[in-house]
Chain A
């Protein structure tokens, strides 16, 4: 494992077992990914595809049934390495009777951050996630979006090198989403590594350097956004202010040169299109399996 790799998984697999120890669900099937230092990596997939499972395996909350994962060069059971990780869980639930200040202070203490430093960081983070007005209210009075924000703040309390975010924008309003994306991009500027998972494609498309798409626990495809979206034999020509006659002239020209016009409309392939394409292909596959 070279210095540049932050996360590496080798055949990482997880089968949830029933109470009696029988295999129930193969939630993750032989996942191999590499995440480099300083990149924003997006894990994509429909609900139940194993994204959260992957993150929990990386954090040592659950244990793999096969394979292994190295995070910052250590196995997942290493406690010290957690000093350098920040995690936002899928559902942000905290001690309900504490207020924002207290919960951040509690986590800060677990990291053994000094009192003065803790105070400064808490002030800064609460400002950053926009909870300045609500910081003295107990968390049980918070809305889902506010809990999400406090969740992001607690993930950053230790100024981590690796930030793992499970659906960071779920439950946030558009402004909150924008702010969260800005926070993530700011982290990238400071050479931090971010691993996030989401089913919201626009989030991923906006900020991720590389993505991996999971479906039913299997890695379908991975690479940079550009790689994934470009097709080698398809050229996209974006034209503005062209009359209809001119467009048909262009079409005839292409046909003369034995090209094939796929479509002529105001469209561009998006991640969403790709996503649906993969998902549809899988459904077709499973149909033929039956």
Chain B
């Protein structure tokens, strides 16, 4: 069968290069240059899938990205497996494996086909209406639906391919390399514009490149020959970059576009090694020329979905470009002249055409006369009323249209065929234009939406602008590009065109049948099985907005995004509702125009490059010493250091005991550090912190609390006065960038009169905190020049010093309640100083501890962690930190909010300590806190924010927020858990050493 379907006359097919591939487990052959669709058609295969709802057999319908039916799974069962691929877009290569989607158990025997028989009870909105109740039935429905539904399988293992992103900046971007795109690119490049020309196909020239008809000529040459010379010329232009296999997915504002460049998908798998598969191009163009062409419209008639029913233009492309005949007994069905071009292509190769059915009564064009001369019967004023054949069309029946085109009259004639080419005219591909924010207008004469208002520096040309005739396309392209680029020289002298077509058309959105509408299946959306009947039903049920009708009937919601049927849906709506086309607008075309792979979207940001992470200068030491890490913002922080086979709990218990009993060491380099200088630095701190800063002496440190203007705690940290006009502020690890941003905001916008300069120095310093009763002895060994006596170096003070002649800053500050020091040194010396401390602390069992132990130690002291114990709903008063809020200061950020009616409520959630009745019981962070579990609903009083087992206190401790907690000291509360209720007592949040004896102990 297959031999007489291939005509070896196409220069796009390499007949010397045979390619074998597998489809549905069977091996076939095609040629290099074939798409999967053209190769299947050459093998006589039309049936490639099943529709989504009724599981009707479906065949290849188109030859491009608008394909609704030939949706396949590529690379079965491999790591590259990819669902929802259009067979019309896949270039075949040796070893390609593909299979039909959405058919089970096989495309020829599909169990879901029973839905087709049930279709009288599966109208629009059926799923909405039926499966919503009774709810208990859902499980039964679900089994049935899931089994038969589904659009492909996703891969189960990691993608082996490489993807990347690339930025491109150009003066002019031309989208689409059809005849007008080629001309525009040449004009732009030759006039000095840096130009990029992209096309989604593997070749340039669009549909004109295989237009070998005597009926369309440019300067007395066959169109394809003229165009080839043009392509030859532009491919040598220095100013012009050309990218094929590149489809623009999104056209955003300010001429920012995303395109996907396919680099290896057409190669055999073994040639793809170490090559980038797809590239996401991020294009910023000064000017954009959209030349995306148009998409042929199908016709909407009863049973218009059988395999073998195709767009007429697709039949032409398959024969002219791939040398493939889609059928041996063809019928064309049209309402305009373009089907006659297809007829001429078939006639040239001697392929049989049984008839042409034309909706028009009068046909007056050179090309139609030529077709008639070839003894082909043209049924003028006729329509197809039904089609026959299950897995492939074998017959149609036709009838005469009434004058108004709303009914059929006369006798029914049956005609045989194995392929029916349909043409309902053309729809400009305005998707990208509307994505960019462009506004359309409706042109009554030929019922098309065309670009009207451009939102950016862009223009649409060619048939996407509604210019369909060859003469019109060329004339308008020349004049509008000259104007758009503001150039005098168009690079073209005179361009003479001859066309045998005229633009007459008889547009009937829904063709009538001898059957009543209720008995017809005229598909508007092939993939989702939405029929004209469904749209009419939706209107009867009261839907009016196109967006609602779309969702209710699922019209245009398939992977083809309504590229084929959207206009018909609009047409049927306005005909039925008696409104004018254009009044309803169109549905919104959203990016991407064609689907993008996830690989393309993420590019190189996979695995360890998924997100940026920051390492401290001491990171390698932590790794070498078995640390487990936790992510804090973008930082990798040492979490705990398990010894032998310790679990986290055991390690933390050991670390926190050592820190209080002898010495602990913490890498605190991640703390945010902001260098503050300027004559108004003190005044600035006064305004941003809740407490007073003017009287802080040089060389002293102070803890500060920062609020938002709404009075809620925003950040905290210790700030040190280094000089008269010089401070260094520390922030929380996670808050550093935001704090700097906030401070800059106030400085630049509210207080520009202040002489203050801010600089982030977080990465410049390594920060090592040594704490515990032996910390003094250890630090004195590391910094021998420094007098560490309490008199010379008291708590909350700072000294400049040197370690091995390297300048360092040492603060005596504590986040653990222990005597402790913080060594700040130039980052690249961080690791060596850390090692020095370890060496000096050897005799004192100096123990490195991570963030978990740090959290435990500070919780014993009742120190908050902003972001863990607070959540932007707590004021300092709520946190029982009244002591840090200055009463004297006239103003600071957030002050006024501290006495709003809401912030002074007594029953706000307030920070408290929680002790469990059973001291071994450790609460879960986030657990709810209640008082009365008998009352329903149970009133939620608050939740646990921090919880640990303290080895130093030998009991469980927790912090939490509780409504009115401040006045509940000693009160019993309940933490209800899944299996039990845990009794707790409200306690002071400071569990250990409230008097600060450890901090001030003489060492």
- Indicate whether A and B interact: no
Q: Write the residues of chain A forming the contact surface with B, with a CB cutoff of 8 angstroms.
A: none
Q: Write the residues of chain B forming the contact surface with A, with a CB cutoff of 8 angstroms.
A: none
